[in-house]
Chain A
Amino acid sequence: METSRRSIALASGLLLIILLGVWWLDTHHLQPSPLTPTLTGKTEYCLTCHSDLPEISASHPIEAFGCVVCHGGEGLALDAELAHSTIRGGNNPSDLAVVEQSCGGSECHSGDSADSRDHIQRVMTSIQATYAGAITNIRYSFGAQTDLVAQQGIFAISDEHITTTTGVPILSAFDPLAETSTALHQFADNCLSCHISAQPSHDHDDFARLTGCASCHTPDINTYPDGQIHRLTTAIPYTQCNTCHNRGNYDLRSMTFVERTDQPLDRKSDYYQPISQFTKCEWTLDCVDCHTRNESMGDGDIHSNQHDIQYVQCKTCHGTVDELPQTHTIVSEDDLALRMSFLNPVMDLQIGDTIIVTEQGEPLWNTRVLSDGTYEMIGKATGQQFNFSPVKDSLCQQNPTEQTSNYCHECHAEER
């Protein structure tokens, strides 16, 4: 009996020690950090572990969006494995495989084309996503198709609303196993990493980028400490474009990519691979200062090659000997140029300002016509101001029909 009482006392002591241990663990454990975003109204606990991440952009504040609406995951879970079990796209919810769930929605990036909010639809049909230009050219070159109209892309896709003369209605998925040419097999093995669904083929910093929207809008990923990459921006420097472009050349005989070997020390040498001449504006500006979002993100049509969609020329900004560049005066608060400049306010654009527009009416919202008839452009990534004059009434004797850069290079190229 005495032994039994002693055992009960010992068991009671043990129970108390265990309970005290649980209490201590609970008070010293990471305390849940709830957040109820205004957009969803659903509480999530992601900040319990991720409060150290910087806000991804001013357009996506954590208080309004939270984490789950973009990343997925189990917002109420406090266990990392469970919380991440349903996350979308790993560390990149903008990957094209999941972009519609992550970034889509009529109020977000798959909205109305008339309102210019159909970003995802345009990107999915863009040359950078379909890679139709390279696939078409190589299949044509090696006899797999009889013309240069795109038939296949990285993934199958169709477009029911063709708006341009070069748009094609449908692409099937490129299937290397269905091809008979050895060259096409080599192309599939060596050359399918230059589209925005693919990871870069090379492992060093010059090629470092993510996929999907983040391949362009999350620049300089190699500069983030501890891989804590959390940024979206429309201020895209040329170096980000250069994670795919200007990195070398394809050798069609061996069907391999030959990386550029120069060691550029300045922007002038770094911008392009050392194979050609360029005018000053071609390397002092960033690519996005001239090339519009439709050119880079697509216009909603499926095209057969880059040239079908790339239309900005020297005359877009400089005009010709006969005509000034096309312009547009902002008269409404709802002007697309004002909306775009708000997202990257390098220029204080106002109602009444006149800006340059492309031949297709796209606003170059980082430009402005000045009172003396000259123009200014502000670099979207650098904030640098550039002033320039029209060709008309200048000493330039250009032929207005000659608009390829090589023609202008005859007088305006700089030595490298």
Chain B
Amino acid sequence: MKKLKVGWFSFTGCEGSIIIFIELMNENFFKWRDVIDFKYFRTFKSKNDMEDLDVAFVEGAISNYKEEEMLKQIRKNCKKLVAIGNCACTGNPSNLRNFFDSDTKQEIQFILDRFGHREKVSALSEIVKVDDSIPGCPMIEDLFLQKLKQYLKDFGVSDA
């Protein structure tokens, strides 16, 4: 049976939307297990594969160069890239440091240098093309369910 190939990626943020996703499983797990192939889902498994995804759900903002590179890789490997939660959609509030005064910026600069941080924290759309957004802090549950249903239909997995 055909399944929707899905990845869930967490960058800089509180990872609250993945908690909502896992709470949504309370009602939906058995249904989803039949129609979704969780190809990349570190929270649940150690063997993950990000190639050839139908949909990549990406939460968190982009703070360092490693994340930026990974996000570009995800973009190359997925058909639809969905920004999940406010940090991915707008950068806020993971981007607090973008608004620091020069003294505070100087205070944290050595950490930014040590861990390869970018000059500023960015929303996903500042770096790659984003096909869809589910804002909210954490993400709006009903909107996520609605979009997921749409993708299952669009990719010919279910007509529900």
Q: Do A and B bind each other?
A: no
A contact residues vs B (CB 8 Å cutoff): none
